[in-house]
Amino acid sequence: MLERFFNNILSNIMGTSPNALGTTIQGVTAGGRGIPNFNDNALPATLVANPQAGQNVIPADLKNPQTYVWNFGIQRELPGHNILDVAYVGTRGTRLLINEQLNPGIPGSSNANGRAFATRGSVISRTNGGDSHYHGLQTRLERSFRNNFLYRMTYTFQKTMDNTNSEIFQTTGGNSVGSDPANRNVDWSVSDFDVPHIFTFSGLWDIPGAGSGFLKELTGGFQLGGIWRYQSGNVSSPFVTGTDLNGDISGTNDRPALSNPSAPPTSVGFANSQAGARGCGTSATGYFDISCNPVTLAAVRYVVDPAIRTGIAGRNTLRAPGYNTFDMSLQRSFKLPFTPMEQDRFELRFDFFNVFNTPIFRWEVGGLSDGDVTNTFFNQPNLNSGVSVGSTQARTGRLQLRYVF
């Protein structure tokens, strides 16, 4: 199998100025719609690049990311034919790919475009500015097949830290670009895929047949298996849509400030300066909530106020509830007496996933709730679908018939 060529960097550059140019042709304003007799001759013979058009670039010295891995483990056999395995695993990622804004807006700039460089518009560069750490305790207790039964228990306690979202897609927050173009460190936090706790228990039981003779043959050959899994919920970032709080001319990469950490986790206050954008009137307290009701700073956990840019909420500080699922299978083997090979058999297998139909409330793409503080359903992952986590959906079953020879 050939690996697919990763061309996202080049395709992004090719799709922006000056490699891709566009123009707008106006239709007639009266007497019908569109442009009569439109063909390729109606297009301009030459196009001029707009220096203020957005660009995607890469530095000349862009390098491949590097990953360092180290681990240490101890394994010991315990009484009862049990095996205990305890390991520490660490990784370090350097030169990770990250999107950075090279021409951000500068508050108070005298340039006509409000940016650091007047002759250019937005310039997003794919750089090696990303960094990551992982530290994990990985444990395993298991017993091999004995007395018709085997089991395995695993527990992982881990933490993954980095300073970057995916450089290709926005995975948490509102933007793949950092919240402060001049300081990557403000985005150093747990990773988008951080899961602190994962516990699994799996078992397999060969059910012995009852009695002897025909009854034993009839009731034997069954195998029952199950997997129970619990893990922490996924994370998201609180962010603000439609308001440029730090003046960098990006309306989706800013995070609100923390006001009262003891206030309800869904509470947000907006400064009177945001009243027009929110469609609300000004408040006598200086702040109002998502429903335009007056609030005080002591009554809200997050505050959206361009005048308050200290104590900013951290990246990926919202976590969805943990969840658990239980999958099980039942298999029956049928020996084939009419073949010369002893191992020839039919296997009938039933698989059931998420047997108890447990909802899995998490941050999800297109969900009703997300980390946007301007969303009426901000920070309420229990309002999302409850079934979106990889390929695991609501309770499902599968029937298989297999011939083994």
Task: Quote the radius of gyration of the chain (alpha carbons, Å).
Answer: 29
Among 37-51, 142-156, 260-274, 306-320, name the one with the lowest average pLDDT. 37-51
**How far, in Å, CA of 8 to CA of 351, rounded?**
39
Mean pLDDT calculated for residue range 352-365: 88
Number of folded domains that form the chain: 1
362 has a pLDDT exceeding 80? yes
Q: Which domain holds residue 215?
A: 65-239+246-252+322-371+382-404
Among 4-18, 265-279, 280-294, name the one with the lowest average pLDDT. 4-18
Q: What one-character DSSP code corresponds to residue 275?
A: H
Q: Which pair of tokens denotes residue 304?
A: 């959206």
Mean pLDDT calculated for residue range 179-186: 90
In a domain, 232, yes or no: yes
Q: Given pLDDT bands bounded at 50, 70 and 90, which one contains residue 171? A: low
- Cα dihedral: 300, 304, 305, 308 (round 10): 70
| pLDDT at residue number 33 | 66
Phi/psi of residue 56, nearest 5 degrees: -115, 130
| pLDDT at residue number 251 | 79
3-state helix, strand, coil in the chain (%, to 5): 10, 40, 55
Placement of tokens 């085997």 in the chain:
150
- Report the candidate in 204, 230, 226, 198 with the shortest Cα–Cα distance to residue 352: 226
Contacts of 5 (CB under 8 A, 6+ apart): none
279 has a pLDDT exceeding 70? yes
Q: Given pLDDT bands bounded at 50, 70 and 90, which one contains residue 10? A: confident
Task: Give the predicted TM-score (pTM) of the model.
Answer: 0.84
Mean pLDDT calculated for residue range 115-134: 93
Mean pLDDT calculated for residue range 96-101: 91
In a domain, 340, yes or no: yes
| pLDDT at residue number 1 | 45
In a domain, 3, yes or no: no
Q: Given pLDDT bands bounded at 50, 70 and 90, which one contains residue 6? A: low
- Report the candidate in 75, 54, 187, 212 with the shortest Cα–Cα distance to residue 132: 187
In a domain, 39, yes or no: no
Percent of the chain, pLDDT > 70? 90
Phi/psi of residue 26, nearest 5 degrees: -85, 135
In a domain, 48, yes or no: no
**How far, in Å, CA of 132 to CA of 123, rounded?**
25
Among 13-22, 93-102, 178-187, 333-342, name the one with the lowest average pLDDT. 333-342
